[in-house]
């Protein structure tokens, strides 16, 4: 996906999410709104009945339902979501989504904090013992 984000991360910008949401008959439309080194925000428009099969992400995911209704399956457990609902999913959680009616959502993906590499600490400890 090589789409240019609608927002340049170096400049402020106001967007109308309803105005930017696009739908395709019998399809799913995603648009990248913002990309930064640690996060990405996407706007989705789902036609009724469309779905994304179960998958995982290595990133934190925050989903805001902007319009309509859908069903998220979280680790096999179905959850009904509607306009105004907010869903957080930790990294590596198996999930799927189905549009029970036409709906739109805002997805923000955030990279997990990096854990420090223990190798430099181990080398320093060995050097101190020598």
pTM of structure: 0.84
- Chain centroid, CA 88 distance in Å: 9
Q: Per residue, what are the HEC states of 19-80? A: HHCCCCCCCEEEEEEEECCCEEEEEEEECCCCEEEEECCCCEEEEEEEECEEEEEECCEEEE
State in words which class domain 17-129 has: mainly beta
Residue 3: which of 19, 26, 22, 18 has the closest Cα?
22
Average pLDDT, the chain: 91
- Are the CB atoms for 109 and 40 separated by under 8 Å? yes
SS3 category, 116:
coil
Binned at pLDDT 50, 70 and 90, residue 1 comes out as very low
C-alpha dihedral (86, 10, 111, 41), degrees to nearest 10: 30
What is the pLDDT, as a whole number, of residue 64? 98
pLDDT tens across 97-124, in order? 999 999 999 999 999 987 766 665 555 5
Degrees to nearest 5, angle at CA 74 with 52 and 55? 40
Residue-range domain boundaries for the chain: 17-129
Question: DSSP assignment, residue 97?
Answer: E
pLDDT tens across 58-108, in order? 999 999 999 999 999 999 999 999 999 999 999 999 999 999 999 999 999
């Amino acid at each position: 996906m090589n789409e240019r984000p609608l927002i340049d991360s170096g400049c402020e910008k106001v967007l109308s999410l309803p105005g930017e949401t696009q739908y395709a008959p019998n399809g799913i439309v995603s648009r990248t709104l913002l990309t930064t080194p640690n996060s990405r925000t996407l706007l989705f428009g789902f036609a009724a009945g469309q779905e994304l099969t179960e998958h995982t992400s290595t990133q934190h995911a925050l989903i805001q339902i902007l319009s309509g209704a859908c069903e998220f399956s979280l680790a096999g457990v179905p959850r009904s979501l509607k306009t105004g609902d907010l869903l957080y999913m930790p990294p590596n959680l198996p999930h799927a989504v189905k549009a029970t009616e036409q709906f739109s959502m805002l997805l923000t993906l955030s990279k997990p904090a990096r854990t420090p590499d223990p190798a430099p600490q181990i080398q320093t400890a060995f050097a101190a013992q020598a």
